[in-house]
Amino acid sequence: MSEQMPNLVDVDDLWVKFPTRTGMFDAVRGVSFSLGKERLGIVGESGSGKSMTGRALLRLIRKPGIVEAKQMKLMGEDLLSKTEQEMRDVRGQRISMVMQDPKFSLNPVMTIGDQIMEAYSLHAKATKRDAKDKAMEMLKAVTIRDPDRVFRAYPHEMSGGMGQRVMIAMMLAPDPEILIADEPTSALDVSVQGQVLSIMDRLVEERGMGLIFISHDLNLVSSFCDRVLIMYAGRVVETCRADKLHEAQHPYTRGLLNSLPRLDQPRDRLEVLKRDDAWRDAASVVETS
Partner 1 sequence: MSGVEIENLNVWFGDGEDRVDAVIDASLRVESGASFGLVGESGSGKSTILRAITGLVPTWSGKMVVAGEELGDSRSATFFNKVQMVFQDPYASLHPRHSVDQVLSETLHLHGYDDIDKRVPKLLEDVGLGTSFRFRYPHQLSGGQRQRVAIARALAPKPEILLLDEPTSALDVSVQAEILNLLVDLREERKLTYVMVSHDLAVVGHMCEQIAVMQHGKVVEIMSVEEMRAMRPQNEYTKHLLTSSLGYSRPESVR
In this complex, which beta carbon is closest to partner 1, that of residue 5 or of residue 190? 190
In this complex, which beta carbon is closest to partner 1, that of residue 46 or of residue 288? 46
Q: How far is the CB of 276 from partner 1 (least distance, A)?
A: 13
Binding site for partner 1 (CB under 8 A): 45-46, 160, 189-191, 193-194, 197-198, 201-202, 205, 216, 218-220, 222-224, 255-256, 259-264, 266-273
Q: How far is the CB of 263 from partner 1 (least distance, A)?
A: 5
In this complex, which beta carbon is closest to partner 1, that of residue 57 or of residue 200? 200
In this complex, which beta carbon is closest to partner 1, that of residue 205 or of residue 287? 205
Under a CB-based contact definition with an 8 Å cutoff, are residues 238 and 249 in contact? yes
- Cα 246 to the chain's mean position, in Å? 22
Q: How far is the CB of 9 from partner 1 (least distance, A)?
A: 23
Q: How far is the CB of 188 from partner 1 (least distance, A)?
A: 9
In this complex, which beta carbon is closest to partner 1, that of residue 63 or of residue 269? 269
Phi-psi region of 194 (alpha: psi -120 to 50; beta: other; left: phi over 0): alpha
In this complex, which beta carbon is closest to partner 1, that of residue 79 or of residue 225? 225
Q: What are phi and psi of 226, to 5 degrees?
A: -95, -40
Q: How far is the CB of 50 from partner 1 (least distance, A)?
A: 12
Q: How far is the CB of 247 from partner 1 (least distance, A)?
A: 16
In this complex, which beta carbon is closest to partner 1, that of residue 229 or of residue 256? 256
Q: How far is the CB of 258 from partner 1 (least distance, A)?
A: 8
Sign of the Cα torsion 106, 11, 50, 29 reads: negative
Under a CB-based contact definition with an 8 Å cutoff, are residues 75 and 255 in contact? no
- State how far the Cα of 84 lies from the Cα of 269, in Å rounded to an integer: 51
Under a CB-based contact definition with an 8 Å cutoff, are residues 45 and 115 in contact? no
